[in-house]
């Protein structure tokens, strides 16, 4: 059952609420709009959120993005890298809120950007975003993560779409190794918008990877990984995105638009 979005308030820099129209006891809501992969207002088939879930909309347009390179990103530093916000072209719906993330010049160079949105008590999460790559042949991997602190436990849903192997992997923070999630990474085609929707939860003291949808095709996941143990307590929630370059000095630009983070 898919629940249509009927109203969404998008306020960069603040939490906002989503209102969702549910389905009655008699079955599917006949007024629900048909799924359109390029419509960010309707979640992909098989992905639902409760009516009062909090949502951070257009996260790529928020202020406060910070960078992590070198030992912080556990890789070589790219010769050049940049984050540009409020990009009109490429923009999914011509609203000028897209962001471009780019790197080049260093074989296997990596660069990570992250943002924090304040405290949250949520334990269930959906990340839904659109990506567009100019030169996907130069991509080693793309990584997306929902980051949630719960006291001294840091739940990191680092999810890597490996363009070389075609695997979707999650990062085990205790063994410091990537773990196969048992589903495919669907590589984006050059200069074509791709929708990525990732589902997670925190339960039983673990980060639970629950599903990955590429362009509306859902792949269920049932993998749990441990949290990182910290020395300072926090309830922060945030996200990160990482670009990994392939074995080439040529790089690529990744455009991101309509990045929504749902939590409840």
The residues pairing with 254 across neighbouring beta strands, listed in sequence order, are 101, 133
Report the SS3 class of residue 59. Answer: helix
Q: What's the whole-number mean pLDDT along residues 5-20?
A: 39
Task: Determine the pLDDT at residue 32.
Answer: 63
d(CA 144, CA 158): 6
Strands 139-156 and 159-162: antiparallel
What SS3 class is residue 157? coil
Dihedral-angle region of residue 86 (phi above 0 means left; psi in -120 to 50 means alpha; beta otherwise) = left
Cis peptide, bond prior to residue 90, ω within 30 of zero: yes
Question: Does residue 181 lie within any of the structural domains?
Answer: yes
- Residue 207 inside a domain? The answer is yes
* Residue pLDDT, tens place only, 180-201: 999 999 999 999 999 999 999 9
Three-state secondary structure call for residue 136: helix
- Mean pLDDT value of segment 14-40: 56
Q: Mean pLDDT across the stretch 52-66?
A: 97
In a domain, 218, yes or no: yes
- pLDDT of 2 > 90? The answer is no
pTM for this prediction:
0.89
Range of the domain at 133: 57-263
Which CATH number goes with the domain that contains 197? 2.60.120.260
Domain contains 44: no
In a domain, 114, yes or no: yes
pLDDT digits (tens, 9 = 90+) for 207-245: 999 999 999 999 999 999 999 999 999 999 999 999 999
Residue with tokens 């879930």: 53
Whether residue 5 lies inside any domain: the answer is: no
Residue 18 pLDDT greater than 50, yes or no: no
**Residue 79 lies inside a defined structural domain of this protein:** yes
User: 46 lies in a domain?
Assistant: no
- Total domains in the chain come to 1
């Amino acid at each position: 059952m898919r629940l249509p979005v009927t109203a969404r308030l998008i306020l960069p820099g603040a939490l906002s609420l989503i209102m969702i129209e549910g389905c009655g006891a008699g079955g599917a809501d006949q007024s629900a709009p048909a799924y359109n992969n390029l419509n960010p207002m309707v979640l992909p088939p098989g992905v639902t959120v409760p009516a009062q879930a909090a949502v951070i909309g257009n996260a790529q347009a928020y202020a406060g993005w910070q960078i992590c390179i070198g030992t912080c990103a556990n890789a070589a530093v790219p010769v050049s890298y940049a984050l540009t916000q409020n990009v009109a072209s490429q923009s999914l719906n011509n609203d000028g809120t897209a962001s471009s993330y780019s790197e080049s010049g260093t074989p296997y160079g990596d660069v990570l950007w992250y943002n924090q949105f304040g405290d949250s008590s949520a334990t269930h999460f959906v990340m839904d975003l659109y990506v567009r790559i100019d030169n996907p042949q130069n991509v080693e991997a793309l990584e997306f993560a929902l980051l949630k602190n719960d006291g001294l436990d840091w739940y990191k849903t680092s999810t890597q779409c490996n363009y070389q192997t075609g695997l979707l992997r999650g990062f085990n923070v205790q063994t410091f190794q990537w773990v196969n999630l048992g589903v495919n990474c669907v590589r984006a085609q050059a200069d074509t918008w791709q929708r990525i929707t990732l589902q997670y939860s925190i339960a039983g003291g673990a980060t639970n990877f629950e599903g990955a949808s590429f362009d509306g095709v859902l792949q269920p996941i049932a993998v749990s990984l441990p949290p990182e143990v910290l020395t300072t307590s926090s309830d922060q929630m945030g996200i990160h995105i990482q670009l990994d370059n392939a074995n080439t000095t040529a790089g690529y630009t990744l455009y991101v638009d309509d990045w929504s983070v749902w939590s409840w």
